[in-house]
Structure 1
Amino acid sequence: MHINWSHYLALNESSILDFSQHVLLVFVDALPATMPFHTSLENKLKRSQSTLKDIEEKPVSLELADGALISMVQLKTAQSVFEQQTLLRQALKPLLAERPTRLAMAVYGQAIDSVAKLAAYVALVNAQNLPALKRDAKLAGLKDICIFGIDALPWMTEVEATAAANTLCRTLTLTPPNQQTPKLYRERLQALASEQNWQYAEWNVEQLKAMGAGAFVAVAQGSETQDAAIVKLSYRHAQASKTLALVGKGICFDTGGHNLKSSKYMQGMHQDMNGSAVAVSILQAISTQQLPVNVDCWLALAQNHIGPNAYKQNDVVTALNGMTIEIVHTDAEGRMVLADTLTLASREKPDTILDFATLTGSMQTALGTRMSGIIANSQALASQVAEAGIVSGERVVVFPYAEDYDSELDSEIADIKQCTMESDADHIIAARFLGKFLEDNISWCHVDLSSYAHKDGLGAVASEVNGFGVALTLQWLKTFLAE
């Protein structure tokens, strides 16, 4: 979606309404008497027997006599970014519901540059069109945004790149499974690589068998169509001094395999590729902004099917790094495809590896769907990502990477068990498993995306599938590049 941006320093009602009949008015801390539409607000509060205190709780909408719709929201400097995003999302909802082509936003008060940037992102990310296959689908058509009360838009490129990346993530995640098999997904990635001038490489099932990537192949072999692959997308910058590896779980549909999911838990399992969508979307944002970092994006693309060739409990397979794995539960396929992919990524010796996966139900049990969990082999890295979560509004909780959990994976027949039959602390056990397949002691953080979908929207994003992880990582990247 292309947006024409403009700004206007003066704040007056006539200029705002001349631009658009859809207006977001944001004031920080105190409500000044000189603020546009102050009289209209006072009349609304008087009529509804409310006070200014009520606006602190939720935004208020005003319908003017000429048909204009004004949505007012009060933010406080003491609020977290997540809290501010939530209020802005709620304030923008009635405006964007009318699918305007023009949107005016006015900001007043403290720290208006950062507030304007936040409001612009929330507006833009929620004005995007997501996959809609209904015959009468009504599409958004926002074309122009003017921000009143500021004299520059220095953050415009960053906001556009982040919103576009979040939209790509949601779009990929929401694509129906018959339209995004591993083969079709790879074709889509090839087109994107050509468009973005990335290097593209892939290893198909036969090549992975020959390489000895038995963990990945164990999952892939259950599909009748052998179209699984590990894909590598590479971005290079002439001034880069660091290399980042992004790894994403890309299970395009997860039946659970022989340990078959029930219908309730199989619903939505085409979204089990969300980790790969996060990874490739981060790559797109980096490439769009031409950030000075080299990036390799590794995507483990497969389906977890049931069939005569599907892997099963008590199988023992040999991973790419030579470790033998005793299969305990076929619905723990994500850690299997990630194991060999992490080995490939680490062998190229990047400075840091981040992996993204909708990996464990126990992380969702621990946190619900409002936050995601991270586990890292470096406390410094974990702290950086956690801080990025606060700044970006995509909140994460750090869980321990404690060695004593390894005893849960002791096997009598193989080097390691895939998992346990119990679900206790499986998010930690899964991370300990994945860590066994990293080579060269590389700094690594695992992001278990328990909050990739939240029913009522989350933070900045109104849709259930919310693109969590994209803004988080782009914020962390600023620290990574500054070191």
Structure 2
Amino acid sequence: MRQARARWYDRGFVTGGQGKVSAFKLPRVRYRETDDPTADLARYQHIALIVAKAADLAHAPFGALLQKRLKAQGVAIKPGTVFLTEAPDEAGTTLAVGFADATLDTFALLELARKLTRFRPGVARVALLAPGLSGAAHKEALRALVRCLYAQAPLPSRQTGRTVNPPTAVDVYGAGEDDRALRAAAHGNHLARALSVLPENELGPADYVKRVKKLAIDNGWRFRFLDEKRLAALGAGAFLAVTRTRAAGAGIVHLRYTPRKALRPPVTLVGKGICFDTGGVNLKPARHMYGMHEDMQGSAVALGTLLALAQSHAPFRVDCYLAIAENAIGPLSYRPNEVVRAVDGTTIEVVHTDAEGRMVLADTLALAARERPGLIIDYATLTGACVYALGTRMTGAFTNRPELTLRLIEAGRASGERVWPFPLADDYNADLKSDIADIKQCTLDGEADHILAALFLKRFIAHDPTWIHLDLSAGRHKGGLGAIPTDTTGFGVDFTLALLADPAFAW
């Protein structure tokens, strides 16, 4: 099918109920090859600069003033230092200076740039500079500032009277870059976050499917929906065990982007889309149930990645499977000690109903693998064990190709979305041995549950494609993470784009 231009997301995003649309648009960014903004200083209300040392400020607007104030205030200049002050002009222009050198990796550079792009209310015009830097350091500094600027786009909010107006015009000095890839990534990440923060009464399974269908139509993607009736015909008993409480609209969405000319093997993205997770019969306590409207973030990241790849005109087919459901509680809820049969015939002993994510993903991964893609990447807010292991600054990564371990770390380093690989050692499978079924869903002990969950999922991937599983422990981080200023991070979009763009990564 001829691919329609991916234009929908610049036009607006469906954020409210009943298909209401609120405008969303990234700021207009102009790249100016000159490094000297002196002639335009009066137009800016915020100027953000990244430099290596105080002497570099000699090349910056208000440079002498900045050097004088840094010295007067005794600022200790080292990589990561941020200095904020106001220019002596009528507008009270904010001057935000950050110091960086080669010791700062991409993540640290993004953290620095995020602090420099916190705008006071009413700021409309912004200048971004990296005076004194050259070559790759100059390019990366400006890219970090632009990424953080794009991430400022507001998320859906239901606060009465609250309006957020991010900058509308931005000039980037000393660069002539085409930033279509940056904009595509920003659109993808924003979509993932915007969906994730919607309350469950606005994004139940039926609402979610409706929004995804709209997105597919506007972008020219193929859309197919396997509802519960179709899944029953296929024998998807693992998925249907979770949806037994009859939350309207549950099912598996299959989207497909097809390029005009495919130059690489197909890629499949799979996401866990539990719109709310009560824990089921093994009910979560209030502290752990609060925030479970974001348990669908894995599916939102898969969808956002698809959008970014489509807008970047990726030269390979991308299939995207979203396992959309709700883990509710009721008379029909599935229970511990049940045995259910997955779509590939595997029988599963249910141990804990709050391990529903691996249940819906088991059938979804099995169906996705039938298409024989070269690569499958799945995203899920799957286990607390991964959060205990890493905290919320990094995400756990698993793969059936041990030789990719260093490449996964490097993709995390390059993107600023850091991952840490965990083993898939065969001896751990002993913990999933069942006396009454082919495999246990999990254990009650919880020890190494992130590893056991990944081994469980691995069982359902036939034909041995390259498989990468991301347990999104960094899906939510208080105060933001890397380029992202919000607690909800949309982690995974930039990581995946960096991995797939790596010329040394073959699948």
For Structure 1 versus Structure 2, the TM-score category normalised by the shorter chain is over 0.9
Q: Cα distance 1:235–1:480, how it changes in 2: closer, same or farther (>3 A)?
A: farther
Deviations 1:116-173 (A, max 9, x none): 12211111112x01011111112224221101123x113x101111111111010000
Q: Which residue in 2 is equivalent to 1:416? A: 439
Q: Which residue in 2 is equivalent to 1:45? A: 70
Aligned residues of 1:381 and 1:445 also touching (Cα < 8 A): no
Counterpart of 1:134 (choices 159, 171, 175) is 159
Residue 80, structure 1, aligned to residue 105, structure 2: yes
Q: Which residue in 1 is equivalent to 2:370? A: 347
Query: Which amino acid letter does the alignment assign opposite residue 252 of structure 2?
Result: I
- Give secondary structure in 2 for the equivalent of 1:233: strand
Alignment of 1:18-417 (within 5 A): 18-28=42-52, 31-32=55-56, 34-36=58-60, 37-48=62-73, 50-51=74-75, 53-54=76-77, 56-66=79-89, 67-93=92-118, 96-108=119-131, 109-110=133-134, 111-126=137-152, 128-150=153-175, 152-154=176-178, 156-223=179-246, 225-240=247-262, 241-417=264-440
Aligned residues of 2:281 and 2:353 also touching (Cα < 8 A): yes
Aligned residues of 1:385 and 1:473 also touching (Cα < 8 A): no
Question: How far apart in 2 are the matches of 1:11 and 1:295?
Answer: 40
* Higher alpha-carbon deviation: 317-326 or 61-70: 61-70
1:321 shift after superposition:
0.6
Question: How far apart in 2 are the matches of 1:139 and 1:236?
Answer: 36
Aligned residues of 1:359 and 1:449 also touching (Cα < 8 A): yes
* Higher alpha-carbon deviation: 168-177 or 84-93: 84-93
Residue 435, structure 1, aligned to residue 461, structure 2: no
Q: Cα distance 1:57–1:383, how it changes in 2: closer, same or farther (>3 A)?
A: closer
Question: How far apart in 2 are the matches of 1:158 and 1:327?
Answer: 44
Q: Cα distance 1:117–1:46, how it changes in 2: closer, same or farther (>3 A)?
A: closer
Q: Cα distance 1:353–1:430, how it changes in 2: closer, same or farther (>3 A)?
A: same
Question: How far apart in 2 are the matches of 1:202 and 1:238?
Answer: 24
Query: Which amino acid letter does the alignment assign opposite residue 227 of structure 1?
Result: G
- Give secondary structure in 2 for the equivalent of 1:231: strand
TM-score by length of 1: 0.95
Question: How far apart in 2 are the matches of 1:324 and 1:180?
Answer: 31
Question: How far apart in 1 are the matches of 2:339 and 2:435?
Answer: 11
Deviations 1:308-364 (A, max 9, x none): 111000000000010110000000000000000000000100000000000000000
Q: Cα distance 1:469–1:322, how it changes in 2: closer, same or farther (>3 A)?
A: same
- Give secondary structure in 1 for the equivalent of 2:189: helix
1:46 shift after superposition:
3.8
1:478 shift after superposition:
0.7
Query: Which amino acid letter does the alignment assign opposite residue 294 of structure 1?
Result: R
Question: How far apart in 1 are the matches of 2:498 and 2:457?
Answer: 25
Aligned residues of 2:51 and 2:57 also touching (Cα < 8 A): no
Aligned residues of 2:80 and 2:108 also touching (Cα < 8 A): no
Deviations 1:370-410 (A, max 9, x none): 00000110113333222100100100000001111110011
Question: How far apart in 2 are the matches of 1:363 and 1:141?
Answer: 35
Aligned residues of 2:351 and 2:443 also touching (Cα < 8 A): yes
1:16 shift after superposition:
4.3
Question: How far apart in 2 are the matches of 1:291 and 1:33?
Answer: 40
- Give secondary structure in 2 for the equivalent of 1:147: strand
Question: How far apart in 2 are the matches of 1:317 and 1:480?
Answer: 42
Question: How far apart in 2 are the matches of 1:482 and 1:443?
Answer: 11
Aligned residues of 2:84 and 2:96 also touching (Cα < 8 A): yes
Aligned residues of 1:73 and 1:91 also touching (Cα < 8 A): yes
Query: Which amino acid letter does the alignment assign opposite residue 237 of structure 1?
Result: P
* Higher alpha-carbon deviation: 396-405 or 72-81: 72-81
1:291 shift after superposition:
1.2
- Give secondary structure in 2 for the equivalent of 1:462: coil
1:480 shift after superposition:
6.3
Aligned residues of 1:293 and 1:481 also touching (Cα < 8 A): no
**Aligned residue pair count:** 475
Question: How far apart in 2 are the matches of 1:313 and 1:177?
Answer: 26
- Give secondary structure in 2 for the equivalent of 1:54: coil
Query: Which amino acid letter does the alignment assign opposite residue 180 of structure 2?
Result: T
Query: Which amino acid letter does the alignment assign opposite residue 371 of structure 2?
Result: E
Q: Cα distance 1:185–1:115, how it changes in 2: closer, same or farther (>3 A)?
A: same
Q: Percent identity?
A: 39
- Give secondary structure in 2 for the equivalent of 1:397: strand
Question: How far apart in 1 are the matches of 2:248 and 2:457?
Answer: 25
Aligned residues of 1:410 and 1:416 also touching (Cα < 8 A): yes
Q: How much is the aligned-residue C-alpha RMSD, in angstroms? A: 1.5
Structure 1: any 5+ residue segments left out of the alignment?
none
Question: How far apart in 1 are the matches of 2:36 and 2:113?
Answer: 21
Query: Which amino acid letter does the alignment assign opposite residue 334 of structure 1?
Result: G
- Give secondary structure in 2 for the equivalent of 1:177: coil
Question: How far apart in 2 are the matches of 1:139 and 1:445?
Answer: 37
Aligned residues of 2:221 and 2:255 also touching (Cα < 8 A): yes
Aligned residues of 1:205 and 1:226 also touching (Cα < 8 A): no
TM-score by length of 2: 0.91
